[in-house]
Structure 1
Amino acid sequence: MSQQSSIVSCEWLAGELSNPQVVIIDCRFRLGQPDWGEQAYQIAHIPGAYYLNLDQDLSSPVATHGGRHPLPDLSHLAEKLASMGIVFGETLVVAYDDMRFAFASRLWWLLRYLGHENVALLDGGWTAWEKQGYPVTNDPCKARSGAFSPKVHTDWIVDIEGVKTRKHLPSVVLVDSRDSDRYRGEHEPIDPIAGHIEGAINSPWKQVTNEQGYLLPFEQLQTLWQDYQNAQEIIVYCGSGVTACVNLFCLDLVGIPNAKLYPGGWSDWCSYLV
């Protein structure tokens, strides 16, 4: 594995495909095309990889409030993880997508939120794996026997009331992870209201990787957060609690603690404004 244990290379993973202590999960997805990822998985995926769908597996059904991707039913997710052969606290889970960690990082964060620290992202994702000529298959994966008993970090999330009461505190940094034009309210393709939560700073999630989906050098990642290293608490949000996890991954990688997720994000916040 690479020096940073939460990121692994295609070369490393290719050497671990037969390792029963490594479970690979394909998280490819397209917003607005909820079946696309599973269809892509059925055509070709990394040998031994299972598939998890953002809408069906990594989120709960949408309600009036709570955002477009509420956190999933944790007991159902735990059952699904166990059926992939994952042993809580032991198995290394490697997640990948083809969108610069946009969806794989949601699984990375959820696993750690459930108390399972042994999880990594595949650097470059599916695109790099395929481009470098590593093996692919369309064989479905059979259920395996695992054991997953979550120990949930309930203090890792902040709801809308928590954001309201803490966002202006000098010791708290509120981070909007969306693209800058959405943050500024110049462009809003999804939500009914444009703009951002008052007091939030903008650190777009795409800054964590290059256009090919590879993690930027460690020093550049540190620079992204150098102004906020002394914050007592960092609350991160995006549109619906998905791509914010890319920033949470980055914050963890550079060693900045106390970063929490507002899962509802802008889609939850503005649902109270319409």
Structure 2
Amino acid sequence: MDPALLREREAFKKKALATPTVEKKKTKDDSQFKDDSKKKSKSSSSVSAGPKLDATNYKTMVGSSSYRFGVLARIVRHMRARHQEGDDHPLTLDEVLDETNQLDVGNKVKQWLQSEALQNNPKIECTQDGKYIFKPVYKIKDKKSLLRLLKQQDLKGLGGILLEDVQESLPHCERALKSLAQEILYITRPTDKKKILFYNDKTATLDVDDEFVKLWRATAVDAMDDAKIEEYLEKQGIKSMQDHGPRKPIAPKRKKAAQKRRQFKKPRDNEHLADVLETYEDNTLTQKGVSIK
């Protein structure tokens, strides 16, 4: 080999060793870190691609039916409370939302309330000018209208009315019921323990002897049903009054038309053979006017 080339090679090695260099080696930790960073970037990009949740649109997103009905229930409760306090002037939708502190509802919820929910709600009545008012069970405003309603129920035989319906319909109900304490009878229904109001018709009161009252109150029938009471009265010779309710009219049965029997015509003694037939009378043969004995 040429000695000049060898000398240049050795000089190049010395120069290369004299210059400092830094070599980066790939490690497993670096690769794992890069993989994790890639996964995080992908997840963040997928989250950012979805709808953003903020204070303006989270209430109007799909699947917020529970929120809608919550807004509606709050409106109905507020309108009932207004009516019970005697405040019965109608309100617009914006006024209702303002009084219920729900002005932050979205446009879709407002549209649903205005076009469907409030229109079809049995407790809300829509006026002709587009306002809303509470719709009670009975149209009563004071104690006089309540007493008039109870009298009509009694005269027509419709029975009483529920106390909770009166409390919902009549503003300042407790005050009116207290002033009408002598005109109203309270009966507790045994099935659901709800109180029912009846008109106290004093013209139907009868004076009963105290002895009968004592006997009535001393007789305990709590452990007996109606069948046992009726059986006991029959043994004592007392017939009990029975009420089976209104009976349905029985339709009269149609009588089947009697089938007419066919009448067969009897032969008329062979009149067309009168010239041919022979008659036997008393062992006598008669034929064509000639008698043979």
TM-score category (smaller protein): under 0.3
Q: Which has the higher contact order (CA 8 A, sep 6+)?
A: 1
TM-score, structure 1 length as denominator?
0.24
TM-score, structure 2 length as denominator?
0.23
Tell which structure's C-alpha radius of gyration is larger.
2
Q: If each structure's helix is expressed as a fraction of its own residues, which one has the higher value?
A: 2
